Structure 1
Amino acid sequence: MAYDEGLYELLKDDLADLQGLEEKRMFGGVAFMLNGNMLCGVHMDGAMYRVGKENEAAALAVPGAKPMAFTGRRMGGFIDAGPEAMAAEDARAALLHLALEYVTTLPPK
């Protein structure tokens, strides 16, 4: 797998208290699904958070966050958290809060 094991453990610890969470390998990394909906995930250079289009501006204000563009095309509603964001507990908490705010509005799959 092409993802950073240390970031995986960090993100997994951030998610430890959530019910209805499962892991799924995808995009060369690991995605964390909440009630069947993608919440966040880890890849080689950082992590991604599904914050929804309504929360993108707030998420992009977090230091180290940038638009997600895996294939060179921007993925609306997803944020890429680089090393700066992943190293800061408050940045990860802010991004996770925004992702939970969005994903918990989605119907379970």
Structure 2
Amino acid sequence: MPYDEHLAARVRPLVQQHGLVEEKLTFGGLSFMVRGHLAVCVSAHGGLLVRVTAPDRDALLDPPHVTPMAMAGRESRTWLQVAPAAVASDEALVAWVARGVAVVHGLPPK
């Protein structure tokens, strides 16, 4: 499934400034791994999938622009679907990417 290549080109330098980054094509789009952990994904459904901490999740919800990621009918406690409109500005994109990267920097490297 294709992903938004323009959005990926905007995300790439934001993630790369945080150290070792690996890009992987996944079923959900183009994933950006930092220190072996998935931090953010340019979704094949549009927008981003962003890793968050469970305690922060509910405060970040802003339907319809930011919703829990759902897989097989179950909502994730640590992943959000961020609609394209919510990352249209560079400032908003920087904030969302930084949030996902910050979460993985709190995890032990793989």
TM range (shorter): 0.7 to 0.9
Which residue of structure 1 lines up, in the alignment, with residue 4 of structure 2?
4
Ranges in structure 1 where 5+ consecutive residues have no aligned partner: none
- 3-state DSSP of counterpart to 1:77: strand
Partners of 2:4 and 2:71 in 1: CA distance: 16
Which residue of structure 1 lines up, in the alignment, with residue 99 of structure 2?
98
C-alpha RMSD over aligned residues: 2.1
Ranges in structure 2 where 5+ consecutive residues have no aligned partner: none
TM-score with structure 1 setting the length: 0.84
Which residue of structure 1 lines up, in the alignment, with residue 43 of structure 2?
43
Aligned ranges for residues 1-109 of structure 1 at < 5 Å?
A: 1-44=1-44, 45-61=46-62, 64-109=65-110
Percentage identity across paired residues of the two chains: 33
Q: Could you list the runs of 4 or more consecutive aligned residues of structure 1 that deviate by over 3 angstroms after TM superposition?
A: none
- 3-state DSSP of counterpart to 1:106: coil
TM-score with structure 2 setting the length: 0.83
Partners of 1:4 and 1:72 in 2: CA distance: 24
How many residue pairs match? The answer is 109
Give the partner amino acid of 1:5: E
Displacement of 1:91: 2.1
Whether the 8 Å contact between 1:2 and 1:28 is mirrored in structure 2 is no
Q: Which moved more, 1:41-50 or 1:93-102?
A: 93-102
Partners of 1:75 and 1:35 in 2: CA distance: 22
Give the partner amino acid of 1:78: W
Q: Which moved more, 1:92-101 or 1:61-70?
A: 61-70
